[in-house]
Structure 1
Amino acid sequence: MLWACLLLPQLALDAVLRRSPDPDAPLALVTGPAQLRTLHAVNPAAARAGLRAGMRLTAAHALAPDLALAEYDPQAEARWHRFLAAWAYRHSSLVSAQWPGCLVMEVRASFRLLGPWPRFEARLREELHGLGFGHRIALAPTPRAARVFAGLRDGLALMQGPAMGEVLDRVPIRRAVLPGDTGERLHRMGIRDLRGLRGLPRDSLRRRFGLSVLEHLDRLYGEADEPLSYYAPPDHFDERVELGYEVESHTALLFPLRRLIGDLCTYLSIRDGGVQRFLLRLEHEQGHTDVEVGLLSAEREPAMLFELTRNRLERVSISAPVVAVRLLARELPPFVPATRDLFDLRAQQALPWPQLRERLRARLGDDAVHQVTPTGDPRPERAWRRLRGDERTDIAPAPARPPRPAWLLPQPIPLRDPRPRILSGPERLESGWWDGDDARRDYYVLETSQGQRAWAFAAPGERDHWMLHGWFA
């Protein structure tokens, strides 16, 4: 097996920066009691101003008066850790997030699908960069070795056990991720690297530092199995973004909305599924406003879902300032991509029918766009019905009939023309006796005095008192 470690050195900070409209402005995460606030992490702009983690907040304000602050939230950091584990699950079926600040994943089984390691690594880096998370990646035959190598040098990849052991022997003792403060204590004792540590008597190490150090060494070098707990994806999507300020316009909500939709689509690709209904919740200081987005079929295209949600959002009146945005999706049916021809002649700018249909529904309303299907009833006003969503029916083909108009009036009206000319007919219709709506009519194709082609009927055997029922194009 081969294990890749994705080290996330500033996970909590990146989670805040990816939601910031200006990530290049100085920003820091703060923690600690109100009387003793300290910086937990700083972004590159704040570091260039002389700020660093562990600095007092008062000193930081003296160096950078325009510093933006965000509260460090361990629960939010754990939530984003799980989100990235879900993202990694799309590349490997064995993903573990049991160690804080990193992910380990078995990658050898994915080479046949995603290509050799250089191509696989480039794909991981591209997607992590698109998600907005800084990272360091390393590869090794054991998960602990990959974790150690990721902290030593970004991009280090060793695929053979002997080569891995040689590099591990030269790892500085303080960077070997030993349990607790064992690395610092050993360094003060004069042990500088793992080769020196492994040369010590094991019984002495166990008595002085505990069994955990020996277990760490054995699992690091692959001499003992690693009992990892593996990630399993949840059955629903629920993500929330706190805005940090009050928003009263739709435009200011588009940036967090785009991030939420992107995260939702990443989650859907992990499950190899789509979404057919989800809820956008605008949270206020008191109460919330819900924006429901329903689709006729499952989709997971980010641009399409963002456009549909934005159209729905713009039709909602914001009654109070918005302080947070939450996206909930629980109906996640399987996703079936639309079939396309190998030589597709559709114009580059044209939308496929499912996306065009959803865009029209978002702009015009849920009931404004629908499909129709024949019912087999000979009465024109009952010959078709609306379909809901992607509903399908098995209707026997209609018998051969004379031409019918494409424009059928809701109700027949008298034809106001003194001298219509009969082009064809009659077509006798006698039906409806079983449901109390008996219809006995003779239908004709007429040409009006203005040259229009009309579809009209009269009582059986008569050729006057025409009732107009439709127009031919």
Structure 2
Amino acid sequence: MLWACILLPQLALDAVLRGHPDPDAPLALMSGGAQRRVLQTVNPAARALGLRPGQTLTAAQTLTRSFSMVDHDPADIQRWQNFLAAWAYRFSSQVSLHYPRVLVLEVESSFNLFGPWPVFEARLRAELKALGFRHRIVLAPNPAAARVLANAHDGLAVMDSAHLRDCLARLPIDRVGLPREAAIAFNRMGLRTLRQVLELPRDTLARRFPADVLRHIDTLLGARPMALECYQPPDHIDLRIELNFDVESSQALLFPLRRLVGDLAAFLAGRDSGVQRFTLHLEHAEGADTEVPVGLLSAERDAGMLFELARGRLEQVQLRAATRAVRLWAKDLPAFVPQHRELFDERPQQALPWEQLRERLRARLGDHAVQPLLARADHRPECAWQLGGDVPPTSPAAGVLRPGWLLRQPQALHEAMPHMLAGPERVESGWWDGADVRRDYYLVETRSGQRAWVYRQVGEGGPLWLQGWFA
């Protein structure tokens, strides 16, 4: 097997910057108590101003006050690592979070689907860049070796054990993941690289060092298997972006909304599922959250479509107070079935598929403004259809000719002798619900060439009654 290690060196900072409207502005993550605030990490723009991790806030502000501050929450690291594991799950069923700020995934079994490693690696990098996470990627025959090599390399691909041993042997002894005490002891002995350690007699190492040192070295070389707990994606998603300032307009919420919906689409692609309904929570400084439900008639996972639907719902909301954060919650994640498309799609480039147009209209006009028209098992024309509801639809009888336009109420046909084309067709129904009808229906053609569906009550004279028109 071949394992890819994706190292995320600035995971906490990237998670903040990707939700920031101006990621190139100076920004620092802060930690520590109120008495001693410390810069945990800084972005390149802040570093250019002279700010460094480990500085106190007082020392940083003596240099400049032109930077933003965000509190560092260690729990965010685990949350975003889980999110990226859900993203990576689309590429491999064996994804592990064994190492902090690292994803390891078995990729050899996916080469037939995603192409050889150079193509596969390029796709991983492109999607991570689109998600806003800096990274280093290394390929190796086992996950432990891939993790260690990622300390010193980016883009290295080791395909066999012989090449692996040579690459590991060149690493400094303090970069191979050994316990700190063992690494210090090797350095004091004058052993600077793993190659020098491997050249020592094994029984000598076993006598002078704990057993976990030899076990770790054997694991790196692939002589000892490594048990990893594989990630399983949850059946819900909870995403949140905290804003740096109070937002009082729904238009200003479109940037965090686009990021949240993009993350939702990446999560759904990893689970190979779609979303049928989700809720946006607008968190205010005071009072309860404003909830914006977004529902679809069928499961979808296209980021552009989901954003348009969410934006349509959001634009209808009047913000009652300034918004401090936006949260997206979804638990209705059914299986996604791609819609059927023709090989040669003759649809105009600017035209929307019916499913997307339907959902956009519902988002703009409301859930009840666009409803499906369903057939019902009833011979009476006025009862043979219904707007979408809980009653299961039926299919019209095969070979029965019916007009495409039914009048709301039948009208007398003011034409003495229309040309009869077909009929009569007798309809007798409705005795069980008190709306009994007994009619003889005819297909007629008027003097103007229009085709109509008309009837006369059984046993009665008088004019023909117009029920509908044929196209």
Same fold (TM over 0.5): yes
* Percent of residue pairs identical: 57
Q: 1:34 to 1:376 in 2, by over 3 A?
A: closer
The number of residue pairs the alignment matches comes to: 468
1:224-239 alignment to 2 at 5 Å?
224-239=224-239
2:367 is matched with which residue?
366
Distance 2:187 2:108 in 1: 35
Amino acid at match of 1:435: D
State the AA in 1 paired with 2:154: D
Change in 2 beyond 3 A, CA 1:421/1:44? farther
Aligned-residue offset at 1:381: 0.5
CA deviation map 1:45-76 (0-9, x unaligned): 11222222112222222333211111111101
1:393–1:171 CA distance, 2 compared to 1 (3 A): same
Cα deviation for residue 16 of structure 1 reads: 0.4
Which position in structure 1 is the counterpart of 2:418? 422
Q: Give 1:437's aligned residue.
A: 435
For the Cα contact (< 8 Å) 1:243–1:324, is it kept in 2?
yes
- For residues 59-458 of structure 1, the aligned pairs below 5 Å read 59-180=59-180, 182-184=182-184, 186-200=186-200, 210-285=210-285, 286-388=287-389, 393-395=393-395, 397-398=397-398, 400-401=400-401, 404-412=402-410, 422-424=418-420, 428-441=426-439, 457=455
CA gap 1:186/1:64 in 2 versus in 1, 3 angstroms: farther
- Supply the AA of the counterpart residue of 2:144: R
Rounded Cα–Cα distance in structure 2 between residues aligned with 1:77 and 1:352: 39
Q: Cα distance, 1:184 vs. partner?
A: 4.7
* Residue 188 of structure 1, CA deviation: 4.8
1:41: how far off?
1.1
Residue 351 of structure 1 aligns to a residue in which SS? coil
SS at match of 1:269: helix
Contact 1:28 1:41 in 2 (8 A): yes
Q: How far has the Cα of 1:27 moved from its partner?
A: 0.9
Residues in 2 aligned to 1:212 and 1:336: alpha-carbon distance in whole angstroms: 49
Contact 1:27 1:42 (C-alpha < 8 Å) held by counterparts: yes
CA deviation vs aligned residue, 1:119-177 (integer Å, no higher than 9, x gap): 11111111111110000111112222211211112111111212211221221122223
Change (3 A) 1:431 1:12: same
CA contact (8 A) 1:37 1:56 kept: yes
Shift of residue 432 of structure 1?
2.0
> CA separation of 1:378/1:167 partners in 2, compared to 1, >3 Å: closer, same or farther?
closer
Cα 1:231/1:459, change in 2 over 3 Å: closer
2:438/2:457 contact within 8 Å kept:
yes
Once residues 305 and 454 of structure 1 are traced to their aligned partners in structure 2, the CA distance between those partners, rounded to angstroms, is: 43
The alpha-carbon distance between structure 1 residues 75 and 254, as it changes in their structure 2 partners (threshold 3 A), is same
* Equivalent-residue separation in structure 2 for 1:51 and 1:158 (angstroms): 38
Distance 1:184 1:35, change over 3 A: farther
Amino acid at match of 2:418: I
Query: 1 CA distance for matches of 2:404 and 2:428?
Result: 22
Deviation, 1:464, is 4.3
Higher alpha-carbon deviation: 194-203 or 145-154: 194-203
Q: Work out the CA distance in 2 between the residues paired with 1:409 and 1:213.
A: 86
Structure 1 residues 337-370: Cα deviation after superposition (integer angstroms, max 9, x where no partner): 1111112211111111211111121122212222
1:261 to partner: Cα distance: 1.0
> Which whole-Å CA distance do the structure 1 matches of 2:34 and 2:214 have between them?
42
What is the alpha-carbon distance in structure 2 between the residues aligned to residue 221 and residue 80 of structure 1? 31
Q: Distance in 1 between matches of 2:393 and 2:455?
A: 31
How far, CA to CA, are the matches of 1:433 and 1:141 in structure 2?
Answer: 77
Q: Deviations over 1:271-301 (max 9, x none)?
A: 1111112111112232112111111111111
Secondary structure at 1:152 match in 2: coil
Instruction: Say if 1:138 and 1:399 are closer, same or farther in 2 by CA, change over 3 A.
Output: closer
State the shift of 1:463 in Å: 5.8
Q: Structure 2: 5+ residue runs without aligned partners?
A: none
One-letter amino acid of the counterpart of residue 314, structure 1: E
C-alpha distance in 1, partners of 2:313/2:462? 51
Indicate the SS of the match to 1:130: helix
Q: What runs of 5+ residues in structure 1 fail to find an aligned partner?
A: none
Question: Contact 2:375–2:393 (CA<8 Å) still a contact in 1?
Answer: no
Quick one: which amino acid aligns to residue 18 of structure 1? R
| 2:16 counterpart of 1:16 | yes
Partners of 1:188 and 1:9 lie apart in 2 by 29
Which amino acid in structure 1 is aligned with residue 404 of structure 2? A
Q: Cα RMSD (Å) of the superposition?
A: 2.8
| Separation of aligned partners in 1, 2:128 and 2:184 | 32
Equivalent AA in structure 2 for residue 440 of structure 1 = R
Quick one: distance in 1 between partners of 2:436 and 2:394?
Answer: 26
| 1:47 counterpart SS class | helix
Q: Normalized against structure 2, the TM-score is what?
A: 0.90
Partner Cα distance (1:301, 1:181) in 2: 51
